[in-house]
Amino acid sequence: MKHLITVIAFFCALGISAQESRIVSGKISDGKNPLQDVQIRVGDSDNSTFTNAEGQYSIQAVSGDVLRYTYTGMKEYKIQVEDVTQFLNLTMIPDVQKLDGITVTKSHRRSQQELAMDYRVNPQLIRTAYGILDARTAPGRVRVVSGDDISSVGVCILDVVRNRFTGVWAVGDCQRGGYITVRGIGSVGNPRVAIYDIDGQIFTDTPLWLNVDNIKRMAIVSSLAFNARYGLAGGGGVVIINTVAGQAALSKTTDLARLRNNYIKEDVPAPEELMEDEPTYLTELNKARQLDGAVSVYEKYRAQYAASPYFFMDMYANFASRSNGEQMAAMILEENKAKISSNPVLMKGLAYILEENGKNEAALE
């Protein structure tokens, strides 16, 4: 009886020991860097902690407890504490969810690099001290005049404004000086005069020294939205001028054929003209309407072009396109594919031919 009591007491002690709390420690990361402020909570209780700057944590738990690891943008993890659990290191991964009905549209706002490439051919673009301005998308009204419409209208910039920009006041003359005002004259003693942005340099005095024949483009800005760029000095408007000399660094034209409006203006060779330069075997092969005739052409030139990978690729493409030539095409491919297996350019060409004939899996091999 005494021994029985001892055994029962021993197992009770084990049960109590199993329920004793312990410290579970570990480190949390995203696979590369430690994660700070990851919350570790024991089940739904108030017992929780957070990882430090090194991603380390320690929390008190008992066997059977479930530790919940949560972090914004990461998947939630639940790990049960076992009898032998002392350390729990965890790598968390992002929580990516698939959303239905989401439409992503491209922004129509063009970058400065795109505008720079288009500058020479787009007359609505003008360079300022703060980047290239597109008159079509700029806030407010921006009027742009090209140099071709300026050179014959006067001696100085005051004459240009009088003749080309209606509603803009040009006071004075080219000998005694003057000023330009975009938003009205204001008071007589304190007129709201415009400032000048010439090739990226700001001037407050009217540039009577500027040769109008040297103007490439000229724009007048009246919107108050540009005060954020030019400050209070631009309160009377801004006259923007791009000179021919100021654009000397841009004399090299960007290859606009790669950008847009890529229209071919030269004569394009007709298919018949291209066929005049094709190999003799292709001419005979295309004339062979029946499969037997095509096979005869292949056998005729097979030995002569045995070392040419282009010959067998042409032959394969022709037979593969025939309704009854699939077996012949497969034989040609099997006999010659090894000849180009070490040439990635030829293998890519063969892949295109296979894909064109519906052999998508073979094209990927």
**Domains of the chain by residue range:** 23-91, 125-248, 271-364
In terms of CATH, what superfamily is 125-248? TonB-dependent receptor, plug domain (2.170.130.10)
According to the model, what pLDDT value does residue 17 have?
47
Residue ranges of the chain with per-residue pLDDT less than 50: 4-5, 7-11, 13-14, 16-18
Gap between the Cα atoms of 298 and 336, Å rounded: 13
294 within 8 A of 286, measured Cβ to Cβ:
no
Q: What is the pLDDT of residue 336?
A: 80
Asked whether the domain spanning 125-248 has the same topology as the one spanning 23-91, the reply is no
Among candidate residues 141, 142, 136, 165, the one with its CA nearest the CA of residue 153: 165
What pLDDT, on a 0 to 100 scale, did the predictor assign at position 78?
92
Strand duo 22-29 + 56-61: pairing? antiparallel
Please name which of 214, 217, 208, 212 lies closest in space to residue 242, comparing C-alpha atoms. Answer: 217
User: Architecture of 23-91 per CATH?
Assistant: Sandwich (2.60)
pLDDT at 312: 83
